[in-house]
A and B are shown apart, each in its own frame.
Chain A
Amino acid sequence: MDSVYQALVDIVGQEHVSNRQEELFIYSFDLGTTEPHRPDYAVAPRTTEEIQEIVRLANREKVPVVPLGGGLSLAGLAVPFKGGIALDLKRMDSIIEVNEKARYALVECGVSQAQMVSYLERYHPTLTHSEPGAPGPATIGGNVAIHGQGDLAQPYGFNSDMVNGLEIVLPTGEVCRFGSCSISSGWFTLHPLPDLGLFLGWSGTTGIITKVSLRLFPCKRIRGVGQFVVENEELVPEVIHKLTHTQMAEDIIAYSQAVPPFSSGLQHFLINLAADSEKELEFKQEIIWDDTLGEYIRRGDGGFLGFRQGLERPVVSKTSDWRKGGGFEYVGAIMPVDTYPECYRQGREISERHDIPYTVLGRCIGMAHAMMFSWTYAFNRADPESIKQAREALHETDDLALELGGTLWKPGLYGQKLVMERMDPHTLELMKKVKQLLDPNGIMNPGNWEVS
């Protein structure tokens, strides 16, 4: 009998651990172009204490641990490159507390985005969280672990800016709490100390996020999306600057894509507005469409496509359907807003060079402080040549984003290497020290963010 397997069974029970090849296969890949690697074990703990025991076991046995939420990062961030334990956190799915007055929700890491949306709609309809537009099973913990972004990014920033507190199981098994929760029972702020910034965005290489206090925001009675379109990509930064000046949108996304053809060569804006009354909605619509964008309409440079109630989030996974075979992956990057025209032109060029219909999308973060970009490439999962072609396009796009002065978001191994090559050497050295301090045996998601 495999002693690690038996130890895992002792911790979580037989029904929540597996070393069967057909089940390990499921944990060996994500939906992107990353080469699959099987873990040796898949484990689904239910409690923080079980996670602590698993991590201690892994340290004793020098076995890698790869935390996994919905498994939807696409960039291979939860692929067990060096085998070990795939730590499936989806059973950690309790919504522990919603504080209406302080507007936060304390949840376990495996609570899914769809679960959060439906729970708030049912029990706290005046509150909402920033939903990332990922498929419903994507988890809250996974999203902040990869520094996610969603609607409400325009007023409030990245999803990792919307965290009020964290509970972490360190790579050595201790539990730490960060934010007000470390000194009281309240989970209402991450500041001022101990806000150490060691876990958000680190893709599970420094610890396992087990609880998250998530900021909630007012959910107005009417929420909807208006669309605006321009031909000239050079107008996009200017339009975004004007829109953000109004401070009225809940989300601003610009995109262009080859398929379906309606958008080809055009730049579309999705602008979310919310209001508690028709009066408030009309006031906002007048400011946005008539006063702010009216000059483009009158000149014939921009067109208003109407406002529709109900949120329709852009779903980039639809691009997987643009080619036979159903695969897709994107490069994510945080870019200055004024690079949009080059991001569009050069991204489109890369796609066309690889014979892949282009999809370029940028979400405005904050008051135009940055845009979160995605360049998406569809491929045929059953065709190695198609996968190779998409991988090359992804790598070229990683290079492009950095050349244009941006920084990569949740990069895969190729992008991580590029980032670390360019990183200030002192910062890189600090990263290495932090990793060594927290994870002396190097068990946490090895392969990712490894500083040589």
Chain B
Amino acid sequence: MYELKFDENECLSCTTQDCLTRCQYMDIDRDTAKTEILKIARGEDSFVLHDCVTCYACEEYCPVNNHPFYLIVEKQEELNVPPLPRPLIQRGINVGIPFRGEPDIVEVSEPVMSMGTFADLLYLVQGRLFEGVSIISADPRKMFHFFCQLMYLHYARTSVIKERLPNIIETIAKYNVKELICFHDECYGTFTSYAPAVGIEVPFKPIHLFEYLYNRLQELKDEIKPLNLKVAYQRPCSSRLSSDKHHFVPDIINLIGAEYVQREYIDENALCCGGTIQGQRREGSRKRAADVQRRNIEDMKNAGAELCVFNCPACWDTLAGLVAQNGIRPIFMSDLCRLAIGEKPTGWR
């Protein structure tokens, strides 16, 4: 069985305890943080296991990449402290079961992109930015064969990820790709962060969508017409697993002549979309999620944002309507880039 590479000594010698002291959903001082993370590492119960909203951010905050978030969710499962009610966990586990036969493995030529479980959003992958890109997992009936499974961190079911992920990687590997552009950064985070953290081998090099988009925009630089729009970004939880790629957000926005608005909940201080929080078992979760959403959108408005850019379809489902109700147009990053080169965004809503 795959085991998480977590070193308790790193926490013992840590002088910041950023993993918990920087948490935006729990108020924890440094001494308490050290005590609690060590309790968790030793398999003891901790209030952190009960109060964690599973926002992934501590993975980014940890200064030594010791995987505190993966540890927390593993221990939630081991100690039976589920963050969600049982039916939601079972429902989530059911979601990832493929049910429409085996995928057709066909010959592809690079560059290759995987839609993961978002084959329904294929319309976002078109135009000159994606010319020549081969797409795998483009069939909604079979996309669960390409589901990275990392969503189960929210469900405290790392056992499901460890059981299913090797098969998913094996399916993708049948395409014999050297590099794989990941439509969703949850897939990217799975292959570059979670898989190595638990010792699962990934036989291809994942490419972050934003890195790909940035490079394509550079190639099409002459066609960019500055957008002159003020843009906020809804940073998704899984982006915390690839913080080294987050710089592409401001890079892209600057490249296309838009303004990346400065606000309180930006970059490392980004707020969760609330999608997971609202369903949690803890008393008051629905209202807590609504409060997070309200603060987030108010912050975008105060910063003067005209657009809110999304990468994660789950964030979009949760937040795009609310953003629009508040006078800010939601748009996916690929569509924003298409807008900049004079194409009509297909997902413009």
A-side interface residues toward B, CB under 8 Å?
A: 229-231, 259-266, 285-286, 289-290, 294, 296-306, 308-309
**Stretch in B180-188, B220-228, B273-281 with 4+ CB within 8 Å of A:** B273-281
CB proximity of A297 to chain B, nearest CB, Å: 6
- Return the contact of A266 from the options B94, B278, B318, B321 (Cβ within 8 A): B94
Report how far A308 CA is from B321 CA in the complex, Å. 9
Q: Add 18 more A-B contacts to A305-B91, A306-B279 (CB < 8 A).
A: A229-B91, A259-B99, A260-B99, A261-B94, A261-B99, A265-B90, A294-B283, A296-B85, A298-B281, A300-B82, A300-B85, A300-B281, A301-B85, A301-B87, A302-B85, A303-B84, A304-B279, A306-B278
Q: Are B95 and A261 interface neighbours, CB within 8 A? A: yes
Bits for B71-90, please: 1 = Cβ < 8 Å to A, else 0.
Answer: 00000000000101111101
Residues of B within 8 A of A290 (CB): 284, 286-287
| 18 examples of A-B residue contacts, CB within 8 angstroms | A229-B88, A231-B86, A231-B90, A261-B95, A262-B94, A263-B94, A286-B287, A289-B286, A297-B285, A299-B85, A300-B82, A300-B85, A300-B281, A301-B86, A305-B279, A306-B278, A306-B279, A306-B318
List residues of chain B with CB within 8 A of the CB of A264.
94
Of B286, B318, B321, the residue contacting A285 (CB under 8 A) is: B286
CB <8 Å contact, B281 and A263: no
Judged by a CB distance under 8 angstroms, whether B97 is at the interface is yes
CA distance A305 to B89 in the complex (A): 11
A-B pairs with lowest CB-CB distance, top 10: A303-B88, A303-B85, A261-B97, A229-B87, A261-B94, A262-B95, A300-B85, A262-B94, A231-B87, A303-B87
CB atoms of A297 and B90 under 8 A apart? no
Return the chain B residue nearest A322 by Cβ. Answer: B99
- Residues from chain B with a CB closer than 8 A to the CB of A289 are 286
* Also in contact, A297 and B94, with CB within 8 A (given A259-B99, A306-B278, A309-B321): no
- Residues of B near A305 (CB, < 8 A) are 88, 91, 279
Measured in the bound complex, the distance between the Cα atoms of B85 and A266 in whole Å is: 13
Q: Is there an interface contact between A266 and B87, defined as CB atoms closer than 8 Å?
A: yes
Q: Which residues of A contact B91 (CB under 8 A)?
A: 229, 262-263, 266, 303, 305
- Among B92, B281, B283, B318, the most chain A Cβ lie within 10 Å of the Cβ of B281
Q: How far does the Cβ of A304 sit from chain B's closest Cβ, in whole Å?
A: 5
Residues of B within 8 A of A260 (CB): 95, 99
Rounded to whole angstroms, the CA-CA distance of A259 and B281 in the bound complex is: 26
Residues of B close to A286: CB separation below 8 A = 287
Say yes or no: A304 contacts B90, CB within 8 Å.
Answer: no
Given A301-B85, A302-B85, A303-B84, A266–B287 Cβ distance below 8 Å?
no
Shortest CB–CB separation between residue A294 and chain B, in angstroms? 8
Interface residues of B (CB under 8 A from A): 82, 84-88, 90-92, 94-95, 97, 99, 275, 278-279, 281, 283-287, 318, 321
Q: Which chain A residue lies CB-closest to B96?
A: A261
User: A247 CB to closest chain B CB, in angstroms?
Assistant: 21
Contact A304 B286 (CB under 8 A): yes
Least Cβ–Cβ distance between A225 and chain B, in angstroms: 13
For A231, give the chain B residue with the smallest CB separation.
B87
**How many angstroms from the CA of A265 to the CA of B92 in the assembled complex?**
12
Q: How far is the CB of A356 from chain B (nearest CB, A)?
A: 14
Cα separation A305 to B318 with both chains bound (whole Å): 11
| Beta-carbon nearest neighbor of B88 in chain A | A303
Bound: A31/B91 CA distance, A: 32
With a 10 A CB-CB cut-off, give which of B84, B87, B94 has the most chain A CB atoms.
B87
With a cutoff of 8 Å between Cβ atoms, the chain B residues found around residue A304 in the complex are 278-279, 285-286
Which residues of B have CB within 8 Å of A262? 91-92, 94-95
B87, A230: Cβ atoms closer than 8 Å: yes
Contact residues in B for A230 (Cβ distance below 8 Å): 87
Inside 8 A of B99's CB, which chain A residues have their CB? Answer: 259-261
Query: Which A residue sits closest to B86, measured CB to CB?
Result: A300
In angstroms, how far is the closest chain B Cβ from the Cβ of A140? 31
**C-alpha gap A46/B322 in the complex (Å):** 47
Q: Are B87 and A302 in contact (CB under 8 A)?
A: yes
User: Shortest beta-carbon distance, B295 to chain A, in Å?
Assistant: 16
Residues of A within 8 A of B88 (CB): 229, 303, 305
CA distance A434 to B269 in the complex (A): 75
B275 with A306: CB separation less than 8 A: yes
**CA separation between A358 and B286, bound complex, in Å?**
32
Chain B: minimal CB distance from A309 (Å): 6
Residues of B within 8 A of A229 (CB): 87-88, 91
In the bound complex, residues from chain A placing their C-beta under 8 Å from that of B90 are 231, 265-266
Nearest CB of chain B from residue A259's CB, rounded to whole Å: 6
Cα–Cα distance between A259 and B100 once the two chains are bound (Å): 10
Which residues of B sit under 8 angstroms from A231, Cβ to Cβ? 86-87, 90
Bound state CA distance, A263 and B92, in angstroms? Answer: 9
User: In the complex, A308 Cα to B275 Cα: how many Å?
Assistant: 12
Look across to chain A and name the residue whose beta carbon is closest to the beta carbon of B286: A289
Contacts of B97 in A (CB 8 A): 261
CB–CB A297/B86 < 8 A: no
B95 lies within 8 A of A303 (CB): no
* Contacting residues, chain B, for A261 (C-beta < 8 A): 94-95, 97, 99
